[in-house]
Amino acid sequence: MATKANHHYIPQFYLRGFSAGIGRQAQVFVFDSDTKKSFTTLVRNIGSRRHFNRVEAHGVGPNHIEDAMSKIEAEIAPHLQQVIEAQAFPGPEHFNSIMNLMALLSVRNPRLRGNMSDFHKDVVERIMGLSVSTNDIWESQIRKMRESGVPVKEDVTYDEMKRFHEERNYEIVIDQTHLITLELKMVEPVLEQLSRRSWCFARAPKGHQFITCDDPTVLSWTDKVKQPNPWSPGHGLQNTIVMFTLSPELALVGLFEDLPQRSDYRPEQVVALNTAVARHSRNQIYARDGGFMLHLKDGQFVRSDELTRVFLGRG
């Protein structure tokens, strides 16, 4: 049976909220920081990666996680729309759905998976280096492998293995099913911390819009933390802020302190939030159209239609 290959790590129902158009023909404005180009494209063409949710496990099909995510998204989608319309959480099920959406997006994305994969590769490299650091250690490792019933090639010498490691003529590949398992275990603790925050619905003024990106759950330090800060923020740490845009007109802001239920943002506040979203992106930002502004590090305000010129000019 054929399996679906294009897996969205950002749900299409969420991206359609930032599109111009209806249904499958909905298009979004995209700026790609890698190519330094802006363009419009269909929702199905963004926020996805080939076989991102594919697993290889006994007793389940390769699309087991992809199918499960589709069911979860089908439950969240109507709740998101109702929250946007009410500019509030109509009920506890709506709150739970939005918190789950933010948690899933926070831990299930190419950037975090890449970081976890790199960490595991580094551990493997260090273990390999230690294993061949001396002949005695190597012989000890081989002996333990034999005792554990692990097949061992008898014709490979210590010197050959040490040279193999030093020449680095190999590639370490971390099993994707293992990485997906780790991601799913991370959802619950992140969800718990998100649910502890106080949440404010930020409303954009007429003529202004919020944007989103390819890593839309933005976790950052607040202004109370002295910058530059060498440490990455964590979901359970004080003096951190979570920003999540729900639509071009509405965003959520979460803190570990009391907040009003709603706040009418001034234009400069919209620019500041959009700038935080853009800086948190992996390489793409998304919007309904090109009519938004960002605040660059040098203090310059730039319109979206000027991004290509600005970035190419700095190239």
pLDDT tens by residue, 231-286: 789 999 999 999 999 999 999 999 999 999 999 999 999 999 999 999 999 999 99
74-106 pLDDT, tens digit each:
999 999 999 999 999 999 999 999 999 999 999
pLDDT at 127: 94
Maximum pairwise Cα distance, the chain: 74
4-63 pLDDT, tens digit each:
789 999 999 999 999 987 777 889 999 998 998 999 999 999 999 999 999 999 889 999
pLDDT at 228: 67
**Quick check: is 158 in a domain?**
no
pLDDT at 310: 65
Q: Report the SS3 class of residue 189.
A: helix
| Amino acid letter, 163 | R
pLDDT more than 90, % of the chain = 78
Q: Write a three-state SS string for 266-313.
A: CHHHHHHHHHHHHHHCCCEEEECCCCCEEECCCCCEEEHHHHHHHHHH
**How far, in Å, CA of 106 to CA of 289, rounded?**
25
Asked if residue 185 has pLDDT above 80, the reply is yes
**Quick check: is 43 in a domain?**
yes
pLDDT at 315: 43
**Quick check: is 164 in a domain?**
no
Q: How many domains does the chain have?
A: 1
pTM assigned to the model: 0.90
Residue 299: which domain range? 6-114+175-314
**Quick check: is 197 in a domain?**
yes
**Quick check: is 42 in a domain?**
yes
Residue 243's DSSP bridge partners are 218, 253
Question: Residues 205, 263: contact at Cβ < 8 Å?
Answer: no
Question: Residues 293, 303: contact at Cβ < 8 Å?
Answer: yes
**Quick check: is 127 in a domain?**
no
pLDDT at 68: 94
**How far, in Å, CA of 51 to CA of 177, rounded?**
11
Rounded to the nearest 10°, the torsion over CA 285, 290, 294, 297 is 70
pLDDT, average across residues 293-298? 80
**Quick check: is 310 in a domain?**
yes
**Quick check: is 30 in a domain?**
yes
Question: Residues 286, 11: contact at Cβ < 8 Å?
Answer: no
Per the model's pLDDT, the better-predicted residue between 208 and 311 turns out to be 208
> What are the Cα distances from residue 290, in Å, to 29, 151, 177, 280?
6, 59, 38, 19
